[in-house]
Structure 1
Amino acid sequence: MAHWFDLGDVAVVSLIEDDRLLIEPGEFFPGLEPDLADWYAREPWFDRAAEKLVFVIQSFLVCSADEVLVVDACVGAGKDRQRPEFDQLPDRWRQQFLATGLREADVDAVVFTHLHTDHVGAATAQREPVFPHAPHFVVEQEFRYWSSEAGGAAMRRTGDYLADSVLPIEQAGQLRFVAPDAVVGRHAELVPAAGHTPGNVCVRVRGSAGTVLLAGDTMHHGVQIRHPELSTRYCVEPGAAARVRGALLDEVAGSGAVFVPTHFPVPSAGRVRRGQAGYDFEFAADLVRTGQFRYREWLGSLVTLGRRGSAPVAARSQWADRG
């Protein structure tokens, strides 16, 4: 389902590479036996016939009249990967990107929430950066970890995605280290969330009509809303990941804020409520707009509705020009 999130003068657009990746519960959460009476063990979270958890592989565009950001870059096409569902994929991600009417040169910056294989791959093709003018922001501790012996050992289960999807960006001079609370755009800032990986971050996006938190991999599935203490097999620091998740859920439950975990079922955005048996999740239908997002048509609608920012699209400058 093509869709996007309406924040007034900002649009957050989902680019979905796989809308239904089925995973054995024990792969991500060793020993987990889903409570089939609970909401996280029903559709769209759980496939009863296959007895598997449902995940989405997606990334996001953050669009305004001022700039276009890419937040994460999925698995990407034509990459050698150990997981069969990731190996030598067709170019679904680029097809989704181009359908917006944007081109690679329109992207002002790329933000990596962390450097796992399903968040970086489409940023390169044939070991060359896809976005020619864009700096690619990442927390330095994240890059150093995956460049270390420990990070290399962790990549043996996936294939060396650093070599084909991250190092070409560094070699091209487009990889930029930023603080985990850095401002990365006119409407976007990072939120520290180390634990799943050493430099993991969320991205807070503010628009004139609302705010969303792109929560990345702070949680992968609804079972972690019901059980925040439950970290995945793939968390580098499980205890820290659980503390981050608990703090995030407490914050959004108290404020009513909308957050978007990367791997939650479409449309992914929702609000957390405190219930008698713990936290519950409600999809945020009020922000969701269905149908294909088209950037220039959307810009025209901003003018019609009087919501457009002060900078005309012709005056948009590249991050590279801003120093």
Structure 2
Amino acid sequence: MLEIHGPFLRPEELFPTAGPEVGARIEELVPNSLCPTSGKLILPIQGFLLKSPSHNILVDSCVGNHKTHPDDPEWHGRSDTRFLSALAAAGLTTADVDYVLCTHLHADHIGWNTRLQDGRWVPTFANAQYLMPRADEELQRGRDSDTYKESILPVIEAGQTELVLEGHRLGDCITLIPTPGHTPGHVSVRIESGGKTALITGDALHTTAQCQHPEWHFKYDHDAESAVTSRISLLEQAAESGCLVLGHHFALPSLGRVSAAGNAFKWEDLD
């Protein structure tokens, strides 16, 4: 469920330890992923909708509308129908979502957790249980930021939140895999159904170029070295199982498989 698809920041800023040629390296590994005008990395912002016979599960909810982001004009005060239109295109309304699974609590993953109604922030998905990593909620609560007040606290006050730990299972098919580093409680999502497995990365990776270079630090990682450890572990799991991999910020179609390649990994897109 795609909300935004456009240039974000320059690669040298996003990956500060990768060296001055990081842009050229990303373009080599992921062609056409840099904006030809600005040189910025094009990052999709999207969520994933999982439909089972019994539940509709949204994995992350993007930036949202009317949220406060004074330092980012592309995110600040948005008024856009693309995300909810994608939900409708899947045959669902906001009332049909049973769970909102938050891989972490950064602003571009939790924005549609709430919407503005009569001047108040209310849960967008009125019938859903929201699963949030406990460690991330504690961090965001301590910061008491606009993001917390607008996209997290209203859901807690509505009694729709379950604060979860790594390893939490949702039914028989979904397991939260600990991938801390980008945030303290960051989780990726393993889906097992019909003898097949898929992984949703969250922000354990931000570009498929990090398959070849898992050592690259990312600008917004809470603990960059822990993020590297988590990233390598997740890539090892993906390569060993041959499972489907979906990345929130991977170049579209954001879907592929990972294989081992020497001391690193190789990404293969699937159409």
In the superposition, the TM-score normalised over structure 1's length comes to 0.76
Residue 162 of structure 1 and its aligned partner are, at CA, apart by 1.0
Distance 1:223 1:283 in 2: 12
Distance 1:32 1:217 in 2: 23
Distance 2:114 2:215 in 1: 35
Residue 33 (structure 2) aligned to one of 22, 25, 45: 45
Q: In the alignment, residue 114 of structure 1 is paired with which amino acid?
A: H
Residue 49 of structure 1 and its aligned partner are, at CA, apart by 4.5
User: What do residues 26-84 of structure 1 show as CA deviations (whole Å, max 9, x unaligned)?
Assistant: 22112542263666554243334432222110001110221101111000112121211
Q: In the alignment, residue 24 of structure 1 is paired with which amino acid?
A: R
Equivalent residue, structure 2, for 1:64 = 52
Residue 136 of structure 1 and its aligned partner are, at CA, apart by 0.5
Distance 2:110 2:53 in 1: 25
Structure number with the bigger relative contact order (C-alpha 8 A, sep ≥ 6) is 1
Residue 128 (structure 2) aligned to one of 134, 156, 169: 134
Residue 114 (structure 1) aligned to one of 104, 117, 135: 104
Residue 186 of structure 1 and its aligned partner are, at CA, apart by 4.2
Structure 2 residue 197 is the aligned partner of structure 1 residue 211: yes
8 Å Cα contact 2:30-2:208 kept in structure 1: no
Structure 2 residue 73 is the aligned partner of structure 1 residue 84: yes
Distance 1:100 1:42 in 2: 29
8 Å Cα contact 2:11-2:23 kept in structure 1: no
Residue 284 of structure 1 and its aligned partner are, at CA, apart by 2.6
Residue 282 of structure 1 and its aligned partner are, at CA, apart by 0.3
Secondary structure class of the residue paired with 2:24: coil
Where does structure 1 differ by over 6 angstroms across 4 or more consecutive aligned residues? Answer: none
8 Å Cα contact 2:63-2:109 kept in structure 1: yes
In the superposition, the TM-score normalised over structure 2's length comes to 0.90
Distance 2:88 2:67 in 1: 20
Equivalent residue, structure 2, for 1:224 = 210
Structure 2 residue 242 is the aligned partner of structure 1 residue 261: no
Residue 114 (structure 2) aligned to one of 124, 148, 156: 124
Residue 18 of structure 1 and its aligned partner are, at CA, apart by 1.3
Residue 270 of structure 1 and its aligned partner are, at CA, apart by 1.2
Secondary structure class of the residue paired with 1:87: coil
- The structure number with the bigger radius of gyration is 1
- Tell me how large the CA RMSD over aligned residues is: 2.0
Equivalent residue, structure 2, for 1:94 = 84
**Would you say how many aligned residue pairs link Structure 1 and Structure 2?**
263
Identical-pair percentage: 33
Distance 2:14 2:31 in 1: 18
